[in-house]
Amino acid sequence: MTEQYDFLVIGGGIVGVATACELQRRYPDQSILLIEKEPALARHQTGHNSGVIHAGVYYQPGSLKAQFCKAGVERTLAFCQQHQIPVENCGKLLVATNAVELSRMAALFERCAANGIEAEQLDQAQLREREPNITGLGAIFVPATSIVDYCLVTEAMAQSFLQQGGQIALHTLVTGLTETEQEIRVQCQQQEPTEPRSFSVSGKFLVCCGGLMADRLTQMLNLKTDFQIIPYRGEYYRLPARHNRIVNHLIYPIPDPDLPFLGVHLTRMIDGSVTVGPNAVQGWKREGYGRFNFSWKDSLGMLAFPGFWQVTAKHLKTGLMELRDAWWKAGYLKRVQKYCPSLTLADLEPYPAGVRAQAVLKDGTLVHDFLFASSPRSLHVCNAPSPAATSAMPIADYICDKIAAQQQSE
């Protein structure tokens, strides 16, 4: 590494790597450094998701989520084909099991049309024909849904970035940010186990894709924002290998439109297995994937934030039900049995959990769309929930367009 760069990117998840790669493509003669605190890329949200290339069913028409996701499907599929990354187009079924869900299903079908997504409504008999092991009153079939390993996608992006001349600093924790009219300086601590050392690098512009640490990076620059990242742990199970063909598609329940979570679903994985999940349980450590993980810093910061108490009070009943079923496996199973009744407790085998970095405003509002903040020499991705992996390349385009516009105005 040198000390001075044209661009600095913080965060080695798929959004950060895609952004670094696009910056290097647009500015081939300029120096770009990607900084990641972990010993490898894609260690957190990118490496702990269900691997779905989402079609964009759920998102408000005209929102950034809707725009980015639809563009991201084509871009992701093309990238995977170019780099020979395995993809399976298995399609998705959103299954309604009661009258309330049927009503919500009708609204979702209209949203598919508004977002320009191909979809087909199925009645009970048509659903049973497509999925003999799934029961429901009806369903929406969305063919443009695929599965992939996003870690492989991120690795391929990183290789492209390096081949174009970019640099990556792993094991490198950001401890401070300082911005002047001429540059932005990043204080770092190298986390190598042998000889930890502190150093700094500077750049003309900084992009922060910090995920679970997004708010703390804005705080380092004293940006005026009114959000905080609240972690929600998503617990999964995996079905035994004998159930690898239990479904032909991805099976999702009809979600509650007031919540950003999609409910416990059956997901075919690219390795051939089938996972169950995730739920959404309050996390007490931002990067805590185990059930008993706890951080005083993360927890005290969360408890001191007014938005945490507001959102908790608003969704208290839902939160308590999530907590109950997280500890009561039979309750978790019932969520799946409502559309796949043949599964039993013995079918729920352990599988790694994930943590969703959910931006919450001070008034308790859950931020449903992508959220950005900026300063004269920095741009921060503050909220990038699902479908961020699907949308990584369009997000990178958006960021680079913002940077280009800002440079032209100077």
d(CA 258, CA 256): 5
Helix 150-163 and helix 14-26, axial crossing angle in degrees, nearest 10: 30
Q: Which of 179, 173, 184 lies closest to 213 in space, CA to CA?
A: 173
pLDDT at 71: 95
In a domain, 34, yes or no: yes
How many domains, in total, are found in the chain? 1
pLDDT of residue 184: 97
Those residues of the chain that have pLDDT short of 70 are 1, 193-194, 410
Tell me the C-alpha to C-alpha distance, in Å, between residue 405 and each of 32, 192, 402: 19, 38, 5
Give the global pTM: 0.95
- Residue 114 belongs to some domain of the structure: no
Residue 369: how many CA atoms within 13 Å on its side-chain side? 12
Q: Is residue 98, in this structure, part of any structural domain at all?
A: no
What is the reported pLDDT for 193?
67
Residue 311 lies in a domain: no
Tell me, what's the pLDDT at 195?
73
- Of 37, 6, 4, residue with least CA distance to 207: 6
CA distance linking residue 362 with residue 227, whole number of Å: 6
pLDDT reported for residue 259 = 74
Within 8 A by CB and 6+ apart from 316, the residues are none
- Can you tell me the distance from the alpha carbon of 211 to that of 44, in angstroms, rounded to the nearest whole number? 8
Domain of residue 185, CATH code: 3.50.50.60
Domain-located, residue 72: yes
Q: Is residue 338 part of a domain?
A: no
Residue-number span of the structural domain to which 68 is assigned: 1-88+149-226+366-410
CA dist., res. 97 & res. 339, Å (int):
7
Contact of 54 with 125, CB cutoff 8 Å? no
